[in-house]
């Protein structure tokens, strides 16, 4: 049975928009039409232009062909003109929504998920992702139903032909006019996703010698054994090609993972450390502050502390990172998965922009990537997922007491994090410590206790 309506007590939006398996979960053409009508009604006139309009982008999933026209139908039915871009990175939609003075923007993407999934990310006229309050209001309007435009006030739809060019010019501005990327050899994995055109084009225009992979989307191969989620192929080719750096973007190109010349992976934490060091040296960090997440490695925090840089932690997700950056007036934030936010240039994670910045710094350094892009040694970390667990067990007094006791045993050189999944019925246990045996023992102790409390609750 396909779900077509939503109750007031069921939240449609997750931590990063709406996401699910197409035509099986909540992601259907009917949902897209209803969402567009509700969001269009809410945002109508927000940008203050004579004609209200929405920008709609997508990645390369087969289901994009279904969801894009459904959104257009919904938006035009409540009087908004619709501008579609075709495949383009999520940060491009955030940027162009603002500069084109659209009332809102929508990105059709399930990010790093397989092609069977899809989702919708919404941006306000300012290019920022929506907060919970606005999302809840949109969902309420989906339930109550919109006021449709009169026939003479229906919106129009058109394709934006120069979207790639507009975004590539924006991305390239992170480099001063006199700089380029000549003399660098790069492997670029586009994940068969939204960056498959603009990524290679930008690197070519900046003069890099690029070996491009993952740039042949067929609707079903996005994120399939490639890209930021599966960077192994990129790393291997980087070494085989004797390239200076490997770059792996995810399906909607808002995150990036790197490889050094030896084929060794470099994650987001190391990139944040590099950027923080360089920005501090150039007096670009206000009050020496950087924002990470609960999953950021303790080694990063220790490294930044040694530089007298205060490290703020937030929940996982670039929306939460950005919120903390705004409140703390921070210029840099990110997470180990490769979401990097450079606030002076973009208001959301931008994998391509980050990659260009890192390539520029690498070229200036005159060092190899293995030497330049690993400023700290990460603290050993282990993660275990416990499936089919009632998430309320985390508020159990016995579990809370046990975790506090285990944390005392680890001391300041260790860290424990218990985190419920936002989309699955599981709990994640993460432990960091310099002692590998202690990590394993701690995870085992906590796992057994959670499973026992969960079983007792069922009986």
Q: What are the phi and psi torsion angles at 407 (to 5°)?
A: -65, -35
Nearest to 362, CA basis, from 348, 375, 349, 344:
375
Q: What are the phi and psi torsion angles at 4 (to 5°)?
A: -120, -15
Q: How many residues does the chain have?
A: 459
Angle, helices 163-172/90-99, rounded to nearest 10 degrees: 100
Nearest to 170, CA basis, from 396, 11, 344, 407:
344
Angle at 79 between CA 73 and CA 83, to 5 degrees: 60
**Rounded Cα gap, residues 341 and 383, in angstroms:** 25
3-state secondary structure of 225: coil
344: Cβ–Cβ under 8 A, 6 or more apart, which residues? 284, 331
Tokens 């339930």 correspond to 143
Q: Which helix (H) or strand (E) holds 397?
A: helix 397-410
Alpha-helical runs (H) found in 157-309:
163-172, 198-205, 232-240, 268-281, 298-306
> Which among 111, 168, 195, 296 is annotated as catalytic?
111
3-state secondary structure of 417: strand
Alpha carbon of residue 33 to chain centroid: 25
Asked if residue 336 lies in contact with residue 265, where contact means CB atoms within 8 angstroms, the answer is: no
List C-alpha distances in Å: 26 to 13, 22, 162, 252, 330: 10, 7, 33, 20, 36
- Concerning whether 111 is annotated as a catalytic residue, the answer is yes
**Number of neighbours of residue 401 by Cβ within 10 angstroms:** 11
Active site residues: 111
């Amino acid at each position: 049975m396909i779900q077509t309506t939503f109750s007031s007590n069921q939240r449609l939006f997750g931590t990063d928009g709406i996401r699910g398996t197409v035509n099986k979960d909540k992601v259907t053409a009917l949902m897209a039409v209803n969402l567009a009508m509700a969001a269009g009604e809410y945002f109508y006139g927000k940008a203050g232009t004579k004609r209200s309009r929405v920008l709609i982008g997508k990645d390369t999933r087969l289901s994009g062909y279904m969801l894009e026209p459904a959104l257009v139908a919904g938006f035009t039915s409540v009087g908004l003109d619709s501008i579609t871009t075709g495949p383009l990175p999520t940060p491009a939609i955030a940027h162009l929504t603002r500069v084109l003075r659209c009332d809102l923007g929508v990105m059709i993407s399930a990010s790093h998920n397989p092609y069977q999934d899809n989702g919708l990310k919404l941006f306000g006229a300012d290019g920022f992702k929506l907060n919970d309050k606005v999302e809840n209001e949109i969902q309420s309007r989906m339930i109550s139903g919109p006021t449709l435009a009169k026939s003479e006030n229906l919106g129009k739809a058109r394709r934006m032909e120069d979207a790639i060019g507009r975004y590539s010019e924006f991305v390239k501005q992170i480099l001063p006019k006199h700089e380029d990327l000549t003399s660098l050899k790069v492997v670029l994995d586009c994940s068969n996703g939204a960056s498959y055109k603009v990524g290679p084009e930008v690197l070519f225009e900046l003069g890099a010698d690029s070996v491009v992979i993952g740039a042949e989307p067929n609707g079903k191969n996005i994120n399939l054994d490639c890209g930021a989620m599966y960077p192994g192929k990129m790393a291997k080719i980087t070494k085989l090609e004797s390239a200076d750096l490997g770059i792996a973007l995810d399906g909607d190109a808002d995150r990036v993972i790197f490889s050094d010349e030896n084929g060794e992976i470099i994650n987001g934490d190391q990139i944040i450390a590099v950027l923080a060091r360089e920005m501090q040296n150039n007096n670009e960090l206000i009050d020496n502050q950087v924002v990470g997440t609960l999953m950021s490695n303790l080694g990063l925090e220790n490294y930044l502390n040694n530089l007298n840089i205060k490290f703020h932690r937030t929940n996982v997700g670039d929306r939460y990172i950005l919120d903390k950056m705004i409140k703390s007036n921070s210029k840099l934030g990110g997470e180990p998965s490769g979401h990097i936010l450079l606030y002076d240039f973009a208001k959301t994670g931008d994998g391509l922009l980050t990659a260009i910045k890192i390539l520029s710094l690498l070229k200036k350094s005159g060092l190899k990537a293995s030497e330049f892009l690993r400023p700290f040694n990460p603290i050993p970390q282990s993660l275990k997922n416990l499936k089919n667990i009632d998430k309320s067990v985390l508020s159990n007094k016995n579990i809370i007491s046990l975790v506090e006791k285990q944390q005392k045993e680890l001391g300041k050189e260790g860290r424990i994090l218990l985190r419920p999944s936002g989309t699955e019925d599981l709990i994640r246990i993460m432990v960091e410590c310099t002692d590998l045996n202690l990590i394993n023992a701690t995870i085992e102790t906590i796992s057994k206790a959670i499973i026992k409390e969960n079983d007792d609750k069922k009986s």
